[in-house]
Amino acid sequence: MSAALTQSQIEEALARLDGWAVEHSKLLKVYKLKDFKAALAFINLIGVEAERLDHHPEIHNSWNRVTLRLCTHDAGGQITEKDLTLARAIQSISLP
């Protein structure tokens, strides 16, 4: 079982994650891409990282906008180091 992070640990991590925020105990980021095709390509790249890390985000796509929410189910839906690791991996992806 993963341990939930404290509020101060989350705030410290957010200072190093560009554009990420917390909403309802989940890490949240919205990406705006060129068009639907670019959004789908980005989602596929996220999928590769999610599979590699065995940690899967909530993904919502609306045309060129990709909304990501991260939390850890085995920590009661709270934010853990798994979420930060995935957020960093997603952040490192070059946008299409």
Mean pLDDT rounded to a whole number for the chain: 96
Look at the pTM and tell me if it is higher than 0.75: yes
Rounded distance between C-alpha atoms, residue 68 and residue 16, angstroms: 17
Q: 7-91 is classed in which CATH architecture?
A: 2-Layer Sandwich (3.30)
pLDDT digits (tens, 9 = 90+) for 50-82: 999 999 999 999 999 999 999 999 999 999 999
List the structure tokens of 88.
Answer: 């960093």
Query: What residue ranges do the domains of the chain occupy?
Result: 7-91
Residue 1 has pLDDT above 90, yes or no: no
